Amino acid sequence: MLRKCLVHLKGWVALYIILGFAIQFLSSLGIVVFQKILDQAVDGTGIREITHWIIIYGALLGANVILNYADEYPGAHLSNSITERLKILALSKISRMDYTAYQNMGTGQMIKVIENGAAAGNSILFTFILGTLHELLPTILFSLFFISYYDLRIMLVIAGGYVVIFVITNVLLKYLYRIKASVLKEQEAMSRYSIRGFMELVVFRTNKKYAQEISRLNDTARQIIRKSAQLQMIHEAFFALFELFITVIKVIVLLYGVKNVISGQASVGVMVALFMFIEKIYAPIAIFNVLFVGYKLNRVTYQRFEEFLNAREDANLEKGKAVARLQGDLEFREVSFGYGEVQVLDRLSFSIARGTSVALVGLSGSGKSTVIKLITGLLKKSGGKLLVDGTDIDELSLNSYYDHISYLSQDSPIFDTTIRGNMVFDQEVPDDELYAILDKVNLKDKVLELPEKLETMVGERGLKLSGGERQRLAFARAVLQKRNLIILDEPVSALDNITEKSLMGTVFTEFRNKTVIIIAHRLNFISRVDHILVMEQGKLVGEGDFDSLIQGCDAFRTLWNSGRGQTD
């Protein structure tokens, strides 16, 4: 994935590296020119000759300033592109991900894995790989080259010392990995605990859950802080170790340098230049060591992101027979489904004829939503056949199937855009038509009252609307879509009885001759549907119209008499 990112940005990468080499070459050349100026001054060369070199020195420094400034642009472009690209990759992964893999991961944990992973990916590519190629490598190469030009032995000692430190680093790294992996796990747990608290203020406040969650977070945070401090100290130890090594080299160079200057074997300029190169080489080698440790640790984080990117995908989204037209005939033939070992549906069989309205009823946990998720292709059956217009759903391309269905779930059926955007996405539909539909779902007056009317932004998950208004707006979208299969998963749970009655009236007129599948706990409108399926513990225990079920199905009668079906 990271390689793909680099290839995608190859032009910028090449420019960034070339600029890095140019900057370091000019800067090293500057030191050599400085050494010449110093030695000529000590030797008593004429001022005209020296001025000539000083102008060259100034020009080199000036050119370097300009290149350094120009270098900022590709740097900023690359660092931002990498993070954003990885986040886009993550969202596009979710668009293809198998639904059960998505459920298993959990939103809070997934967000942390993505955030950490994108940041780690950026550190690996930009900070480590590109940072090494752009700055560290040219600095080290040019410095070693020029040091060897003055004294080959010093160059060899520095290069050898570096190898020793690098080996020690690698040994210590194994210990660091373990701490890092456990910090990551704690961070993901923290995100998992906190994300619902951030998102669902009302539920948490009224259930007085915040105190418990905050105490849980406190424990986790303490672990993270302790382990992160440990990590930081070990990390910094690499830097300190190398600094110590370079200090020894500097003392040795000073000792020999002063001796050679006194005996006339070396010039002051050469000694100063050597010191400048050692200073120059010290920082990148130490930084490389730290970056290398950072890189190895980031790989641990990135691996978790990669596991997410490699999560199972829904093979049916694109592959399979394209659905050009959907009539809306559905048939479950001995369909079974389970979550792991737990069997939820057991050889379920029923048919839904095109153009009919069907209600799925049953006690909580009886398997209604599971049936809907199988019909929408989110869950995959473990046995039997689920036929859509005579073809098994596993053979259909789901993305083409979705062009023909309207699905309204009970929670957040709204997107963070305008009222218009929620109804039509990006289609052009005249305002008159939109208001006519809003009228049908009892939302026209509300929208006309808003200062920005159809252009009003509804907020994240439609939070600026009431629950019932959100559901009615989602209904307006379904009416406008004019699809042949309409799936309504608890569509009226947030509505009062009067609005519910009027909206269900709209359903039966607007969706006449379409296949409509409704899940509902409240059975107020149940006598109006063509067919009712009664579920109990993953099995069908009755089906028929209202009258026949009231007379012949105990489970249905119990549900009806339990008060759910009584209109106020």
Ligand X SMILES: Nc1ncnc2c1ncn2[C@@H]1O[C@H](COP(=O)(O)OP(=O)(O)OP(=O)(O)O)[C@@H](O)[C@H]1O
Interface contacts to ligand X, rule CB under 6 A: 103, 339, 342, 344, 362, 364-370
The DSSP-derived string for 298-350 is: HHHHHHHHHHHHTS-B-TTTTSSB--S-----EEEEEEEEEETTEEEEEEEEE
Q: How far is the CB of 402 from ligand X (least distance, A)?
A: 21
Closer to ligand X by CB, 375 or 437: give it.
375
299, 128 Cβ separation under 8 angstroms: no
Handedness of CA 376, 380, 385, 390 (dihedral sign): positive
Q: Is 46 helix (H, G, I), strand (E, B) or coil?
A: coil
Q: Is 121 helix (H, G, I), strand (E, B) or coil?
A: helix
Closer to ligand X by CB, 23 or 520: give it.
520
Report the distance separating Cα 556 and Cα 360, nearest Å.
11
Q: Angle of helix 152-199 relative to helix 210-262, nearest 10 degrees?
A: 170
Report the distance separating Cα 235 and Cα 292, nearest Å.
10
Q: How far is the CB of 368 from ligand X (least distance, A)?
A: 4
Closer to ligand X by CB, 360 or 529: give it.
360
**Tokens 């008499």 sit on residue:** 561
Q: How far is the CB of 415 from ligand X (least distance, A)?
A: 23
Tokens linked to 104: 């298993």
Q: How far is the CB of 486 from ligand X (least distance, A)?
A: 18
Q: What is the Cα 311 distance to its own chain's centre?
A: 13
Closer to ligand X by CB, 58 or 365: give it.
365
Closer to ligand X by CB, 289 or 366: give it.
366
* Helix, strand, coil % over all residues of the chain, rounded to 5: 70, 10, 20
Closer to ligand X by CB, 369 or 499: give it.
369
Residue type, 35: Q
Closer to ligand X by CB, 291 or 519: give it.
519
Mark out the alpha helices in 97-200 (DSSP H runs).
99-105, 107-122, 131, 137-150, 152-199
Q: How far is the CB of 399 from ligand X (least distance, A)?
A: 23
Q: How far is the CB of 431 from ligand X (least distance, A)?
A: 37
Q: Which of 360, 364, 481 is nearest to 429 (CA)?
A: 481
Closer to ligand X by CB, 367 or 377: give it.
367
Q: How far is the CB of 533 from ligand X (least distance, A)?
A: 12
Q: How far is the CB of 377 from ligand X (least distance, A)?
A: 15
SS (H, E, C) 418-429: EHHHHHHCCCCC
Query: How buried is residue 160: exposed, middle or buried, by Cβ count under 10 Å (0-12/13-18/19+)?
Result: exposed
Closer to ligand X by CB, 335 or 437: give it.
335
SS (H, E, C) 361-406: EECCCCCHHHHHHHHCCCCCCCEEEEEECCEEHHHECHHHHHCCEE
Closer to ligand X by CB, 35 or 370: give it.
370
Q: How far is the CB of 518 from ligand X (least distance, A)?
A: 13
Q: How far is CA 89 from CA 99, 214, 308, 309, 518, in A?
A: 17, 33, 11, 8, 35
Handedness of CA 353, 359, 364, 369 (dihedral sign): positive
Q: How far is the CB of 291 from ligand X (least distance, A)?
A: 42
| 58: Cβ contacts below 8 Å, ≥ 6 apart | none
Q: How far is the CB of 338 from ligand X (least distance, A)?
A: 9
Q: How far is the CB of 382 from ligand X (least distance, A)?
A: 13
Q: How far is the CB of 520 from ligand X (least distance, A)?
A: 9
Closer to ligand X by CB, 44 or 563: give it.
563
283, 73 Cβ separation under 8 angstroms: no
400, 547 Cβ separation under 8 angstroms: no
Closer to ligand X by CB, 161 or 338: give it.
338
Q: How far is CA 436 from CA 166, 319, 418, 507, in A?
A: 73, 38, 17, 15
Q: How far is the CB of 69 from ligand X (least distance, A)?
A: 55
Closer to ligand X by CB, 224 or 379: give it.
379
Q: What is the Cα 394 distance to its own chain's centre?
A: 28
Closer to ligand X by CB, 304 or 368: give it.
368
Query: How buried is residue 527: exposed, middle or buried, by Cβ count under 10 Å (0-12/13-18/19+)?
Result: middle
